[in-house]
Amino acid sequence: MMTNVAVNGIRLNVVDEGQGTPVLFVHGFPLSHDMWRGQLQLADRYRLIVPDLRGFGDSEVVPGKTTMTQLADDCAALLDAMHVRDRVVLCGLSMGGYVAMQFVKRHAERLRGLVLVDTRAAADTPEARETRLKMADHVRRHGNAAVAEAMVPKLFGKATFAEKPDLVTDLRSTIENTHPDGLAAAQLGMAEREDVRAYLPSITTPTLVVVGREDAISPVDEMRAVAEAIPAAKFHIIELAGHMSPLERPDEFNRVLVDFVDQC
Ligand code: MLT
């Protein structure tokens, strides 16, 4: 069921499917809830809560700057608005992982498990920050075509480009259809996100870290270091996948996720 929920003064579009342990999926940049389409089959086991973050998909666009803490607080407020009292498993990919790390810092009592997928704990380098600021300015003036052009080649593994061209086309069109103000606001927020590496050892929430073997944005070694820094985190590499591992290899991703959620 697709629904519209009032959260922190704006409206968020959210998919709410199934029953049981709630699992909240937080998408990457500049995407939407649709990147979790391969996980919707898990609605026969869990309650799946899959929002479009502010500025993305069919949720309200708020121009300016969208910080990762704001997005984490939106997720907590969304659970309140949906009367989800049970502790949730929070699963975030890339930007969704930045949000998940802020969520665990701010709302750990609401979590039974944390799944960090193809993401990073480090802050941006000054060069990366500069690139984001330029991109934010560019999309506001010229639209998203250049962002799609720059990002799509980095998002998938080789096998996906060769065997699943429809996924690539779909993702490109999601990026092209994202509102430029929403995209720019999240870029500005990511540019100033916190380096959370020093915080990782204090995470006590059961954690699973998943990465695609060919991830060009959050490489395997960096994700392994994240897993090693979090006490008792599990670590899984998905072969033949890049940055979008849940979308590229949903069967394997779901198997690993189900194993983890059932233990939480
Ligand atoms: C994402 O997939 O969410 C982005 O690659 C995150 C980022 O730009 O750092």
Tell me the pLDDT tens digit for each residue of 104-153: 999 999 999 999 999 999 999 999 999 999 999 999 999 898 889 999 99
Cα torsion for 195, 68, 132, 171, to the nearest 10°?
Answer: 120
Q: Which phi and psi angles does 237 have, rounded to 5°?
A: -105, 130
Which atom in ligand 1 lies closest to the alpha carbon of residue 155? 2
Residue 186 alpha carbon to ligand 1 centre in Å: 10
Q: Per-residue DSSP letters for 138-200? A: HHHHH-SHHHHHHHHHHHS-HHHHHH-HHHHHHHHHHHHHS-HHHHHHHHHHHHT----GGGG
Residue 139 burial by Cβ neighbours in a 10 Å radius (0-12, 13-18, 19+): buried
Does residue 68's CB lie within 6 angstroms of at least one atom of ligand 1?
A: no
- What is the structure's pLDDT at 160? 97
Amino acid of residue 240: L
Tell me the pLDDT tens digit for each residue of 54-86: 999 999 999 999 999 999 999 999 999 999 999
Does residue 28's CB lie within 6 angstroms of at least one atom of ligand 1?
A: yes
| Preceding peptide of 30 cis, ω within 30° | yes
- What is the structure's pLDDT at 232? 86
Residue 4 alpha carbon to ligand 1 centre in Å: 25
Which atom in ligand 1 lies closest to the alpha carbon of residue 93? 3
- Can you tell me the mean pLDDT for 210-219? 97
Does residue 95's CB lie within 6 angstroms of at least one atom of ligand 1?
A: yes
Report the alpha-carbon distance of residue 121 to residue 112 in Å, rounded.
Answer: 20
Report the alpha-carbon distance of residue 131 to residue 122 in Å, rounded.
Answer: 16
Tell me the pLDDT tens digit for each residue of 226-238: 999 999 899 999 9
- What is the structure's pLDDT at 88? 98
> Do the strands 207-212 and 234-238 form a parallel or antiparallel pair, or are they unpaired?
parallel
**Cβ partners under 8 Å of residue 241, min gap 6:** 156, 157, 159, 160, 212, 213, 214, 215, 248, 249
Which atom in ligand 1 lies closest to the alpha carbon of residue 96? 3
Give the residue, by CA position, lying nearest to ligand 1 atom 6.
95
Q: Tell me how crowded residue 172 is: count the other CB atoms within 10 A of its CB.
A: 17
Beta bridge partners of 209: 116, 235
Does residue 174's CB lie within 6 angstroms of at least one atom of ligand 1?
A: no
Report the alpha-carbon distance of residue 59 to residue 165 in Å, rounded.
Answer: 27
Residue 170 alpha carbon to ligand 1 centre in Å: 17
pLDDT at 102 over 90: yes
CB 118 within 8 A of CB 98: no
Report the alpha-carbon distance of residue 224 to residue 234 in Å, rounded.
Answer: 10
Does residue 178's CB lie within 6 angstroms of at least one atom of ligand 1?
A: no
Mean pLDDT (the chain) is 97
Give the residue, by CA position, lying nearest to ligand 1 atom 4.
29
Residue 89 alpha carbon to ligand 1 centre in Å: 21
Residue 45 burial by Cβ neighbours in a 10 Å radius (0-12, 13-18, 19+): middle
- Can you tell me the mean pLDDT for 1-20? 96
Does residue 217's CB lie within 6 angstroms of at least one atom of ligand 1?
A: yes
Collect contacts of 250-253 with beta carbons under 8 A, ≥24 apart: 250/38, 250/39, 250/41, 253/38, 253/39, 253/210
Percentage of the chain lying above the pLDDT 90 cut: 96
Q: Which of 124, 147, 217, 243 to mutate to test the pocket of ligand 1 (most atoms within 8 A of CB)?
A: 217
